[in-house]
Structure 1
Amino acid sequence: MAATDRRRPTPSKPIVARLGKDAATSLYTVSVGGAPLVVDLAGPLLWSTCPPAHRTVPCSSSVCKVANWYRSPASCPYSDGGRPGSGDRGCACAAYPYNPVSGQCGRGHVAAVPLAANATDGKNPLFPVSFSAFASCAPSGLLASLPSGVAGVAGMSRLPLSLPSQVASSLKVERQFALCLPASGGGGDGAAIFGGGPFQLLAAPPMEIAEGLRRNPVPLLKNPKNGAYYLRVTGIAVNLEAVPIPPRALDLDVRRGTGGVTLSTVAPYTTLRPDVYRALLGAFDAATSGIPRAAAVRPFETCYRASALGTTRLGFTVANIDLVLGGGRNWTLPGGSSLVQVDEQTVCFAFLEMMGTSPAAADSPAIVIGGFQMENNLLLFDLEKGTLGIR
């Protein structure tokens, strides 16, 4: 469901948009015309601040019904007033955007907004594409805790008013999107590709990897309590040795909406429930016992002397961490994903323990896989098949 642009024939090619990373907040942004938007994998819709004059959607429309399937968390504080049920004399459709970083909610008109990106053949941008999508307007106060200069949030969930769903509907492309998140440390921009492949790596010779991503995908689980993407993870291993966690400790309880392993672009680092974190830290500590320690640097608990570590193209030479997935697959996290360099002398174990509740852990998952651990991968989300390809 999207607002289509009738000025030119819609292309059948995928589109590509630039991804950036804000150094101050470690949040990722996507540029789809106008000011950038924060990428939220679990977000149900697009929202941004709007100009005073904007084209609203009638409250009797089918789009409004879809927009109101979603309600912000019941306990969420509202920015600038605007609670659900606030009167609107013009009967313009209202939606309730949510800031996943501050935990605040808002209320705003649903409006048709212009978006723009470039068509791509998987190697290069080809030509500009303009189209419209439905987004919720939001009060400026809802931008608190987001990077300076952004206009709002781009929800990337499987729901109908997310950015990937609206691109697929408006441009008549596949309901797929791929993320190559920009790496920490000034490694350049990343990219989001909406509408399927091909995807070509800039290697020698160039390598087409779309089929490899689709060949053995990981099923994505649904949590009825939120729009996040969940993975079935059956265990964790360090240096190919199983981490001692209780059976089914990582399972998603669909009835209660708790547990499970989810992906989040608003959590800078992977966070784990205390019982899982302690077991993983103990196993990694044992596997790296010969590496000299350094003083801890917040928010990390265990740090190492950088001079004592060798490096490869995959990062520091330490024991790999494997997330054991269903179907005989592992998601391997090498040293570049398990250790983060915090200064010239120090690197730290790049995993955090969940402390109570936080916006990234609002539904009490067992593990939230954060952005840092996703950065050295190409992730292909197939919304039609409900699968994730990892490379």
Structure 2
Amino acid sequence: MSLRRSSAAALAALLALAVLLGTSADDGGQPIVARISKDTSTPTPLYTIAIKVGGVPLLLDLGGPMLWLANCPTPHRIIPCVSHDCDEVSTTYRPPGCPKPSLRGDGPCACPAYPRNPVDGRCRSDDATTITLAANTTDGQNPLLPVIFRAVGSCAPGELLESLPAGAAGVAGLSRLPLSLPTQFASLLKVANEFALCLPSGGDGVAVFGGGPFQLLAAPPVELAERLRENPLPLLKHPYNGGYYFGITGVAVNQQRVPTPDGVFDLDAGSGTGGAVFSTVTPYTALRWDIYWPLRNAFDVATSGIARADKVAQFDLCYQASALTVTRVGYAVASIELMLDGGRNWTLPGASSLVQVNEQTVCFAFVQISSSMPAAIDSPAVILGGHQMENNLLMFDLVKETFAFSGLLLGIRTTCSNFNFTMGSSY
């Protein structure tokens, strides 16, 4: 190799190292941004995040305990059983029924991990390892400098990719547990342990890890993060998993409270049953039967003047699309309000309460919780699904244990697809 080529390669390596070190300085680094895509190739809509080197997508699992990658190369780096990283792995959630790891016949003791497919609930044991990730720093308006780093995760057998979006190489877990991506990013990159999540209804959405501003294209462009940070709501701690639970006191249709049994939404601090939890792997909000039927029947009455259609798939209440009027915030129907702890309401207009299942049919986008749903493993009362989260900016602060929500962005004439992914200036 010539001296010139060798010098150029060395300079490139130093620049790459400078980028990584620049984001992990003691005085704090810059947040990072990643693209989120909605995948409709599977029977249920799911979301992927481009955080792996080469832009390889990973399934986005908001309640997932950690990162896992299928089909690790052989050999791959293992994490010793006696190590700080293995201690952290051992604190992650091990799903019930997950098989114990087989003993190695030779070589060092490898730290075991328990990757789980959050779509179909299957779990396996495999090696804990480190996985190379890539993203860009951001000023909240554009991507800036590239950054590459290693995070602790798990290998997984290829069979766990079944039911995941086409091309997905594994799962990115964003939970509140020690090895979730937000917590690792905070430690590795010296940024705040918080993140913003904006799921798209189509096209691309965005996630920003590490705090800072958050701006979407609009007329004029709108900065959302500062206002949301001023009005947080408390997260509830589940005794057994790292999901994002929050308090609901009731539901309403057209501002009329729906009668439900006392305490029906409560999270039991001992057993972990009940409560409301966010889930990006549950496509439509799922409700326990004693909440679903009162809400469904109240919505049925409030929309009695709209022509009905035959039921479709899992949806119990459907309408003729031709009988509905479209507004800026979706179909013109009765709004649904989630009545939250602290006296605030999260309003779900037509874009959130209904889903178009074919050209002729629109359905009530809520379902009854089934025991076959992987997200129902700890028996929540409410699983707030992806459809109802779409085009809402959600912010989670893992240190303060709070969250904030924007409400449907269509109301301010923007969407989660309006983050400007054009590379910005780093100076």
What TM-score do you get using the length of structure 2 for normalisation? 0.86
Whole-Å separation in 2 of the counterparts to 1:142 and 1:252: 31
Q: Which runs of 5+ in 1 are unaligned?
A: none
1:132 Cα deviation after fit: 1.1
1:157 matches 2:175: yes
Amino acid at match of 2:35: R
Structure 2 equivalent of residue 99 of structure 1: 117
Q: What one-letter code is carried by the residue in structure 1 that aligns with 2:69?
A: S
The residue number in structure 1 matching 2:189 is 171
Which protein is richer in helix relative to its size? 2
Structure 1 residues 65-101: Cα deviation after superposition (integer angstroms, max 9, x where no partner)? 110113422224x5xxxx2463463212111111111
1:32 aligns with 2:51: yes
The residue that corresponds to 1:370 in the other structure is 385
Who is 2:231 aligned against? 216
| Alignment counterpart, residue 131 of structure 1, candidates 146, 149, 156 | 149
Q: State the SS of the aligned residue for 2:357.
A: strand
From 19, 44, 48, the counterpart of 2:65: 44
Report the 3-state secondary structure (helix = DSSP H, G, I; strand = E; otherwise coil) of the residue aligned with 1:246. Answer: coil
Q: Per-residue CA shift, 1:122-155, capped at 9, x if unaligned? A: 1111111111111111111121211221111111
Deviation at 1:208, TM superposition (A): 1.4
Deviation at 1:201, TM superposition (A): 2.2
SS in 1 for 2:21: coil
Query: CA offsets, 1:180-208, max 9 Å, x none?
Result: 1121xxx3101111001201121222221
Does the 8 Å CA contact 1:236/1:242 hold for their aligned counterparts?
Answer: yes
Number of the residue aligned with 1:10: 22
8 Å CA contact retained: 2:36, 2:204: yes
Q: Secondary structure at the match of 1:307?
A: helix
SS class of match (2:22): coil
Q: Which among 265, 276, 284 is matched to residue 261 of structure 1?
A: 276
Contact 1:337 1:376 in 2 (8 A): no
5+ residue gaps in structure 2?
Answer: 1-15, 24-28, 407-427
When Rg is computed on C-alpha atoms for both structures, the one with the higher figure is 2
Q: What amino acid is the match of 2:309?
A: A
Give the Cα–Cα distance (whole angstroms) in 2 for the partners of residues 358 and 204 of structure 1. 41
SS at 2:342 equivalent = helix
Deviations 1:277-329 (A, max 9, x none): 00000110010011110111111011011111111111001111000001121
| Partner residue in 2 for 1:338 | 353
Match of 1:386 in 2: 401
**Distance of 2:46 and 2:68 partners within structure 1:** 16
Structure 2: distance between partners of 1:166 and 1:221: 21
For 1:282 and 1:362, the matched residues in 2 are separated by 26
Correspondence for 2:40 among 19, 23, 46: 23
Q: 1:226-245 counterparts in 2 under 5 A?
A: 226-245=241-260
Match of 1:109 in 2: 127
State the SS of the aligned residue for 2:334.
coil
Separation in 2, partners of 1:142, 1:86: 21
Report the counterpart of residue 297 of structure 2 in structure 1: 282
* 1:48-87 equivalent positions in 2, closer than 5 A: 48-49=69-70, 50-76=72-98, 78=99, 83-84=100-101, 86-87=103-104
Distance 1:367 1:48 in 2: 29
Aligned to 2:4: none
- Segment of structure 1 superposing worse, 27-36 or 292-301: 27-36
Shift of 1:24: 2.2
CA RMSD of aligned residues (A): 1.4
- Aligned pairs, how many? 379
TM-score, normalisation: structure 1: 0.94
Aligned sequence identity (%): 58
